[in-house]
Structure formats: C-alpha cells, structure tokens
Structure 1
Amino acid sequence: MSLKLKGFPIKEAQAFLKTIKKKQELDFDAYLETSKQVIVNHHLKHNPFYRDLAKHADVNDWDTLPVMTKYDLQQPLEQRLSNGFSTKNIFINKTSGSSGTPFVFAKDKFCHALIWSNFMDRYSWFNLDLNRSKQARFYGIPLDKKGYYKERIKDELSNRFRFSVFDLSDEQLAKNVEKFRNTSFDYINGYTSSIVQFAKYLEQKHIVLKTICPSLKACIVTSEMLFTTDKTLLEKQLGIPVINEYGAAELGLIAFQNQKDEWIVNTEDLFIEILDDKNNALPYGEEGRVVITSLYNKAHAFIRYDLGDIGMLSNISTPQKPILKKLIGRTSDLVKLPSGKKAAGLTFYYVTKTIMENSGNVKEFIIEQLKLDTFKISYVSKTSLTEKHTTEIKKAISKYLEPNLVVNFERKEKLTRSKSGKLKQFSSYLA
C-alpha cells in the first residue's frame, strides 16, 4: 500500500517478476545474456555518464566493460542519470556509508517496485506476507522531528514497530521484552548486532522469546555479518528460524537464505560476479570481490559495480542457482559509552548523514573509538571540513549517542584498508 501511494507500479512489477521466472525456467542462459545486453545498450545509448565510463569497452565482450567503483559515483547525481530521468520521476536515496565511501544514487520507479516484489517473493518462503505480517523492526531512526515522524508514519503504514538500536541498555531491553509479550509479532527484522544483544539479554533472564510471543515465525537479520555462534544463540533464545539476508540500498536484495540454510543469490534482477584483483572472474569456491549488475535500473547505471564486499560462491553453485557460501565485510562493533550505554555500530550511519553531500566532497571516512569517551574521525576529501561541519557532526554524535564525548578530526591523503581491501567504517579499540 505504501508503495502504491508513492506511485510505484508494484502490481506490474509483481507480474513482471513472474514473467522473469518463466523465462529463466525455459532457458536461463538466454534470459541472462539478453538481459545483460539490453541494460548495457540502454545505458550506452541514453546515459552520457556511463557512455564516457565505458568508452573503451567492446559491447560484445562482457569482460571489457569497466568495473564501476564507488569513487566513480561520487559526483552530482544529475550528471549520472539517463536521459529522460530527473529528480522528479525517480527514487533517490543515499548509501549508508558502511563501506566508508558514501554517495547518492537513484532507481527508476519500476526498478524499485521490482526490487520490493523480489523481497515479497523471498519472504513468502517462510509464510511471511509484507502486506499483513507484523514486523518487529530493529533499525535506527532519525532523531530530528521531521525525519522521526516520517519514519514512524512509514512504520504504521508498513505494519511494523521499531525498536531502538541506539539504546541497548538492560532497562531498554526489558521494555522490549514487555512489548513482545503484549504484541502479536509475526517476525523480527533488523541489524544483526542489535538483535544479538537482545538475545544475550534474553539468555541472562532465561527467556525464550517464542514462549512469550507465540505468533513469531522467523527472524531476518541484515546489514551486518551473522556469525555461526551468534546464529546459534539467536535460534536458541528466540525459538524461531534465523534467516540471513544480504542486500544493499543501491541494489536491493542480493541473497536470501532458504529453508535448507542455503544462501540463494538473487538472479531475477541482478547478475553477480566474484572477481579477483585484476577483474577476472573466479571459479566457484574461490574468494574475491563481489561485483554486481542491476539488470533493470534504467535511470542509473550499476553495471559491474564493485560493492566493496569480499565473498565466495559455493562449489555446488550453478548459473541458475548460485549459492553464497561466504561473505566478508560490513561487520560492525558495538559502541560502548561512559554512561554504560551500548549502541549498534551502525548508529554512525545516522551520524554520517550530516557529512553526506551531493558534491561528493568527503570521499572516504572511518570512525574509531580510542577510549570510552574519545572518538576519531579520519577522512579523505577535496577540501577540509569547515568548523560548521565539524560542529554539526559533534551535535549529531551527542544526539544519537550521548553528550560530552570527545570527537577529533583528521584529514588524510588516504585511509588504511584491511587485507581484504575492505574499509571498515567503525572500529572500537576498547579492551
């Protein structure tokens, strides 16, 4: 309903998704090659940004198409849109900045509706209906008045209740338990680390959530790594299946765990490659960069887009059924504060919104917790952050975490990356 109200053609997208599945069943290879060729030709013809990026490529040789990076996209959005699209007829959003390289992106309305159709299809594997199933949502929420109430209205329309990830104290978690006791939730969805902290609290109190909220069917974790030990804890304390979801704001659903614990890669509207450092495709079972093509986004090119994650496809994968076996990246530490409060590391997603600019001034940034009350923000930019910017960031950190924290800034030529090439947005050096 909320998609319809915003003018997204959800019914048409659902019907088209069924058409895609039929084409895949008849001849998957033909479907994939045709879809790849169509989207590349569209952007070469209608998108000046992509035409310039791929000017030396051979359209008949996929491997010659350039691998797009987040750096390539750090320029004003209007310069990256296809002809016929403007800010008035597209869906616009910002990446979370979890990779440390934020940018604004767009999708055409049909593409966005198709992405949601895919989510609806996957949720149905576990008898969850996005139109009717009540969601317990462990996500962040903007704390400014306009943003806060906008999200609350969206939650109401989407039949969900949002639990705070900014406060994971025992007092707040006790309130969470009471909300579950008095509400018929169908499923849990949200940041892995927040739900794990909730499960640890349940373990301390010897509570299995399903016993006090019998309507619960499943828990879907997303945005952060799910480790085996954490999954075991979640299944024990929640008393329901734990489903691993892998997605990205700019692309939608990338992989979703089925009832056999297989992490099934989305082949309906995406094409996923695992590449080495020289952009060569790696065989199943080898670890490399996750590079993705959005097959139906006509407003904005995401063709051979390097997401910034490292992953591996299972040896038993096939082109029609790729199975994600391993994913490295987007892990997030907990933030611990002088007051004793704890918060999810992705809290900094809401802080980074204050330094996101369409001009792309800030290219990369990382946030480090050096002491209980001391944080350091290192960044790479065209120009130094002004005093106004740093003051805004400090205010945001005070609002989302707590007052009287020390925040230092350091502009650098480049930032140190991990061995995998990943740039971790938040790191804590507390014992």
Structure 2
Amino acid sequence: MNVFDLSLKLNGFPLKEARSVLNAIQQLEKTAFHDYVEQQKKAIVNYHLAHNVYYKTLFKRLPYTTWDAVPIMTKQDLQQPLANRLSDGFTKKNTYVNNTSGSSGDPFVFAKDKFCHALTWSIIQDRFGWHKLDFNRSLQARFYGIPLDKKGYYKERFKDALTKRFRFSVFDLSDDALETYLEKFKSTDFDYINGYTSAIVQFAKYLKQKKVVLKTECPTLKACVVTSEMLFENDKLLMEQFFGVPIINEYGASELDLIAFQNQNDEWIVNSETLFVEILDDQDQVLPYGEEGRVVITSLYNKAHPFIRYDIGDVGILSKTSTLQKPQLQKLIGRTNDIALLPSGKKAAGLTFYYITKSIIEDDGNVKEFIIEQLDLQTFKIIYISTEKLSVKQTETITQEMEHYLEKGLQIIFERQPFLKRSDSGKLKQFTSLLPHI
C-alpha cells in the first residue's frame, strides 16, 4: 500500500491531479515552456490583485502591466496575522498552514492552498525519484528536531511510522547518542539519510573516529540528502567517505517549495516548474546568469497566499549554463542578514569567519561543533564543543588568520560549552550578528 500517498489524499491534498499537471509542464518544448511561465506569472499576480486585499496594498502601480513593476515582497511584509493575508475564500481550515523555523530571524505563519501543497509534494517525490528513492517504499533515517513535549513527541513519531521514517533527534549529538544511532543502522535496512547538514556531519565525524564506513554496516543505504544548512565541500567529502554513498544537496523553503535539488550529474537543478527564481541586485534589477545577488522567488500556484517576487533572504548565483527551463544553482552563499560589519566599515559575509575558523580547528578532530557570534564591531565570540580545550597556540592562529583575511584589530573570544543552542526545529545557525540590523 502507498501509505504516504494515501495520507496526503486523506488530508485533502489532490496528489493525483498535481502529478498530472507537473507531468504536463515537464513535457513542454522550449517555446511552449516560455509561454507557460509568462502566462503563469501574469495569472498569479492578477489573481491576487483581484482576490487579496493585503496584496493590493503592496502593489503600488495598479493595474499589472510589466513584471519589472511587480513589487518585491520581504519577510517583514508578512509580520502580521495570517487572516489578514489570505485570499478570498481561504481560511486556516481549508488550507495547509504551517510556520517557518525562524532560523533567519523572521519567523511567520503561512498558508498554501491544497492543490499548491500537493504540487510541492509532487516536485519532492519527482526529485527524490532521480535517485531511485520512493517515499512510499524507501525507509528514511531522519536527522531532524522533534518536539520535546509528550503530545508533540508522539505525534511526530506516529507521522514518522506512517511515512516510512525513523527519526534521530539532533538535540543530542554526544558520542553515546551517536553510538546508539550507529547500532540502529546496523539493525535496520535504511535506504537513505535525510536531514540537517550540521547534525549529519557530526555523525560522519563520529564514524571517522570509529573508522567505520556506514554502507558496510548498513548495505541497503543508497544516498544521503542534506538540507536547511550550508554544505561545505570538505564536509561533503567527509560524508561521502564515511557513509559510502552519494551526498545530495537540497535547497528549499517551507513557505515555498523545494527550490533546488542535485541530480545524478551533480547539477543543482532549480525548480522551474512551480517556481520562478530570479537573482536581483540591491536596486532590484535582474542580474545575468553567473552574477551574485539576492534570491527572489515567485510561487506560481499558491492562490491562498501571495509569494510573488518574494525575497527569501538568501544570496546566490545561477550558473551561466542556466536556461529558463533548466536553471542551475551554481552557489548558495548564505543569508543576507548573516553579514559582519567590521570596524573599518567593511562588510563581510558572516560565513567567511565560520569558514576560516573551520579550516583551522577541525583538523585534529578535537572540536566537534562551533558557532560564531558578533558581539560588537570588533568582537567575535567562537562557542565550541570539544574533547579538550583549545590551546593558546590554536586560538592565536585563528585570531591571526581572521585578521589576515579580513582586517587587524579584531578581538576573538573563545568559549567552550557542553552543547550548542539550536533553534526549536533543531537547525544550527552557524553565524549570528548581534549588532542592530545592518
């Protein structure tokens, strides 16, 4: 029985109809696809102008004339009750309602109409199918957060049982916990791993420490899909070595859809069927393929709630080989609010600090995990978990390298902790600026 599909159907999501629409889009030739995108962009704007009072207030130049005149939406625009943002005829009872994790600092509640949400699952199943993974049959080892209250905990465990998932909590990544995870893999025929990058990297480091290749202990394992957090190349190589399976990078947003997914040729393919993805500069102008800018996304099907030219808060590059029908994400650089402001006035991506530090302190396997916080213009705190405290030589080297790559006069504080604070969902924010919003 296809339990996963059945659970969606019983909850009112028309998966069969959504798959039919997705299949029809994927069969379009180049010219027909171009016409489809243009028609769908115009249709979704006009729908919300006609049926959504909230969206009308954002749209300064009525009526719709050209795409360039369509306003950019931000997460700050959505900081108001959901009822104020829903289109005519939609309520919390007849839509899919959820909330973002807040890892970007701007959490909010959102809604999708049920057909739009069914399309989301159709896209996800299609992409996982590229790697012979089937949500109805393939057993998933899930590295995610889980509610700690009794009701929420058992609700998630029940959902996991229905959808062929076994959940490993990311809130305890101690050696003792990771040993129990390894034992579970030895006794269970998992098909793939799926979850937050940082937690799965910790599991790979533990396997390295044990000199164990997971595929040897769990021969049924086919792939590992990481999501929600940055994937660094050296972490990918580590996981490939000690999992013994391909590592697949997923990029998505709960309020939108699956945004990009790596295929078997290691191409990070952007979802062009149900989303329209643009890269914009600071003046909201569309950048050519190959140039770095803000990731702005339009949901082409969500009638319950507008996400039109929505600035998701990320910075990325679409490769020069991209086309309208097959855009490819060359690089995801990080979040626009993860910016460090230096004493000289220079700005740097916060992940620069993380990457410099990572290359130094993880060489010997002593440091398990770490995050960086900017406390003021010149002060940065590195909070870390380790077997042994960092030596004076190591802390001096890190400080010198940061000054070498950025500028002199920075103060680096090192703070060893037994665990790192994660968001309620279990995500780990690698860099945080505590300065007023830049």
CA–CA separation in structure 2 for the residues paired with 1:400 and 1:74: 19
TM normalised by structure 1 equals 0.78
Partner of 2:244: 239
Cα 1:128/1:296, change in 2 over 3 Å: same
What is the letter of the counterpart of residue 200 of structure 1? Answer: K
- Say whether 1:228 aligns with 2:249: no
| 1:202-351 equivalent positions in 2, closer than 5 A | 202-329=207-334
CA–CA separation in structure 2 for the residues paired with 1:162 and 1:220: 14
Contact 1:271-1:293 within 8 A present in 2 as well: yes
Residues 245-282 of structure 1: per-residue CA shift (max 9 Å, x gap): 00000001000001111100000100000000010000
Residues 201-228 of structure 1: per-residue CA shift (max 9 Å, x gap): 1011111100110101110000001111
Partner of 2:61: 56
SS in 1 for 2:265: coil
TM normalised by structure 2 equals 0.77
> How far 1:286 moved relative to its partner?
0.5
Partner of 1:4: 9
CA–CA separation in structure 1 for the residues paired with 2:369 and 2:151: 23
Residues 365-413 of structure 1: per-residue CA shift (max 9 Å, x gap): xxx977679xxxxxxxxxxxxxxxxxxxxxxx79989xxxxxxxxxx9x
Contact 2:370-2:382 within 8 A present in 1 as well: no
- Say whether 1:96 aligns with 2:124: no
Cα 1:18/1:25, change in 2 over 3 Å: farther
What is the letter of the counterpart of residue 239 of structure 2? Answer: L
Partner of 1:378: none
Contact 1:57-1:64 within 8 A present in 2 as well: no
Tell me the number of residue pairs that the alignment of Structure 1 and Structure 2 aligns.
356
Partner of 1:110: 115
Contact 1:166-1:343 within 8 A present in 2 as well: no
**Please, which of 28, 33, 39 is the counterpart of residue 28 of structure 1?**
33
Cα 1:344/1:123, change in 2 over 3 Å: farther
Which structure is richer in relative contact order (CA contacts within 8 A, separation 6 or more)?
A: 1
Residues 13-50 of structure 1: per-residue CA shift (max 9 Å, x gap): 11111122123556111011011011111001001111
**How many percent identity over aligned positions?**
63
Cα 1:285/1:372, change in 2 over 3 Å: closer
When structure 1 is superposed on structure 2, of 75-84 and 144-153 the one drifting more is 144-153
Query: Which structure is larger by alpha-carbon Rg, 1 or 2?
Result: 2
CA–CA separation in structure 1 for the residues paired with 2:22 and 2:422: 45
**Unmatched tracts of structure 2, length 5 or more:** 1-5, 339-350, 355-365, 372-379, 386-420, 426-433
SS in 2 for 1:245: strand
- Say whether 1:86 aligns with 2:91: yes
What is the letter of the counterpart of residue 232 of structure 1? Answer: L
Contact 1:272-1:293 within 8 A present in 2 as well: yes
> How far 1:58 moved relative to its partner?
5.3
**Please, which of 73, 79, 85 is the counterpart of residue 74 of structure 1?**
79
**Please, which of 31, 45, 52 is the counterpart of residue 50 of structure 2?**
45
SS in 2 for 1:23: coil
**Please, which of 151, 170, 173 is the counterpart of residue 178 of structure 2?**
173
> How far 1:326 moved relative to its partner?
0.7
Contact 2:370-2:384 within 8 A present in 1 as well: no
Q: CA RMSD in A?
A: 2.5
